[in-house]
Amino acid sequence: MDILVVGGGGREHAIIKKLRANPKTGRIYALPGNGGIAAEAECVDIQAKDIEGIVSFAVAQKIDFAVVAPDDPLVLGAVDRLHEAGIPCFGPNAAAAAIEGSKSFAKNLMRKYGIPTAQFRVFDAYETAAEYLATTDYPLVVKADGLALGKGVLICGNQAAAQAAVQSILVEKRFGSSGDKVVVEEFLRGPEVSVLAFTDGRNIVPMVSSMDHKRALEGDQGLNTGGMGAIAPNPYYTEEIAGRCMREIFQPTVRAMVAEGRPFKGCLYFGLMLTKNGPKVIEYNCRFGDPEAQVVLPLLETDLLDIMLAVEEERLGKIDIRFKPGAACCVIMASAGYPEQYQTGYPISDDSDGSAIVYHAGTSRQGDSIVSAGGRVLGVTATADTLRQAIDGAYAAVGKISFANAYFRRDIGRSALLASHSKER
Ligand code: AMP
Ligand code: GLY
């Protein structure tokens, strides 16, 4: 079976490593892939947003199955176009991907179907938004409606900051047409949990829970990034909370999408906040999280390609999906300065002993060497019986990898460890 994977980050590397493990897998093409993916797939210089390019390539190569991993091509309808060309895919169509592509769509869905989330209002004009901002409590959260590379969320401590945020999104169009509307919502407090789930439109199977580390600096300081590391499972996510999320959030979301005529097939990501009033949805993503995929997939025991085929063929209820016991930790090695300005093009030397998995995110090949080529460069993941061992394993490998200008947080998993210790007491 020849497979095409759209994307070229650490998440796609983790997906490709899993697909490789299935004996049915023939060639794997990565569009565009990266320097590390090139060791296990043929990288083709077609960008993830180039929908026409992706479809023509898939048709020309007689691809048997396509996996569309990033948000942009999903929201732009890559799966719709591949299906029209007769190619089976893993990933939602554009109508279902709107659950990530439009925050106002997602919020209205939750309101209509009683799915717990922060209180909110949607505005498309500055004046009405400003009137509302004069009457509310602070802090509150201002979000651009559309995709904004994870930068479209602004936490505002007072009215002036909120007005400035709305002005920059709606009037100055800081995020382009992604800011044609803004969502203004209540500020929630509590631990955050990421839960990725396989769904074939009707059945939903949550994966092991995880915790992202979004801020650039240690102690959760600095700017929001795509994610500086992750651990799984998330110690805050108890059996009891998982049961509640299944009943109050996961199943109602899947049913709501069917009721709206937009059944969701693929990986649905629930960004949750465990508030004192119960778990609430912070955001949905229409795809695997990055770096969450780099801790969840290494713990997946069941074959990933078999699951993806079952999702596409709507028979997820018939397969047994298992995860290994134990824990995983992924430390992102980034280019210093990320998520703002940073320098790349530095050779990477890797003397790690192979006990940790080194996923490539922003790397490229230059002759015989691999060089840094992005903000997030590598994702170094270790799995072990305990979280403590997984953290130690990941940092031991990070210590053996170097490139000029490398930066990584030294506290990935620390808050999770503290939480799991206080649970034991
Ligand atoms: P998002 O891009 O929607 O995941 O938001 C990025 C981050 O902003 C989240 O991971 C949260 O830490 C924070 N955030 C988003 N919405 C809220 C909210 N309503 N209350 C508190 N924090 C929030
Ligand atoms: N790590 C968060 C995301 O993938 O959106």
- pLDDT of 150: 74
Closest CA to 355 of 412, 289, 298, 414: 298
User: Which of 151, 234, 269 to probe ligand 2 with, by most ligand atoms within 8 A of CB?
Assistant: 269
* Region of poorest pLDDT, from 17-21, 144-148, 294-298: 144-148
Distance from the alpha carbon of residue 35 to the mean position of ligand 1, in angstroms: 32
Instruction: Find the 188 Cα to ligand 1 centroid distance in Å.
Output: 8
Q: pLDDT-derived band of residue 331, with 50, 70 and 90 as boundaries?
A: very high
Q: Of all protein residues, whose CA lies closest to atom 5 belonging to ligand 1?
A: 153
Per residue in 39-79, pLDDT tens?
Answer: 999 999 999 999 999 999 999 999 999 999 999 999 999 99
Cα(187) to centroid(ligand 1), Å = 8
Phi, psi of 396 (to 5 degrees): -60, -40
Instruction: Look at residue 128 and tell me whether its pLDDT is greater than 70.
Output: yes
- Is residue 145 lining ligand 1, measured as CB closer than 6 Å? no
The fraction of the chain above a pLDDT of 90, given in percent, is 96
Q: Say whether pLDDT at 425 is over 80.
A: no
Looking at residues 371-390, what average pLDDT do you find? Answer: 98
Closest ligand to C-alpha of residue 153 is: 1
- Average pLDDT of the residues in 348-371: 96
85 phi, psi to nearest 5 deg: -85, 5
Give this prediction's pTM. Answer: 0.96
pLDDT at 4 over 80: yes
Q: Tell me if 146 CB under 6 Å of ligand 2.
A: no
229 lines ligand 2 (CB under 6 A): no
Angle at Cα 201 formed by Cα 26 and Cα 14, nearest 5°?
Answer: 40
Which band of pLDDT confidence, cut at 50, 70 and 90, is reported for residue 423?
low
- Give the contacts of 209 (CB within 8 A, at least 6 positions apart): 193, 194, 195, 232, 233, 234, 237, 242
Which of 283-294 are b and which e, b meaning 16 or more Cβ less than 10 Å from the residue's Cβ?
bbbbbbbbbbbb
Say which ligand is closest to the CA of 120. 1
Q: Which residue has the higher pLDDT, 337 or 148?
A: 337
If pLDDT is split at 50, 70 and 90, which confidence band does 424 have?
low
- Reported as a single tens digit per residue, the pLDDT across 156-169 is 999 999 999 999 99
Q: Whose CA is nearest to atom 5 of ligand 2?
A: 289
Domains observed in the chain: 3-93 (3.40.50.20), 119-186 (3.30.1490.20), 192-424 (3.30.470.20)
Confidence band, pLDDT 50/70/90 cuts, at residue 152:
confident
150 CA distance to ligand 1 centroid (A)? Answer: 10
Q: How far apart are CA 83 and CA 78, in angstroms?
A: 9
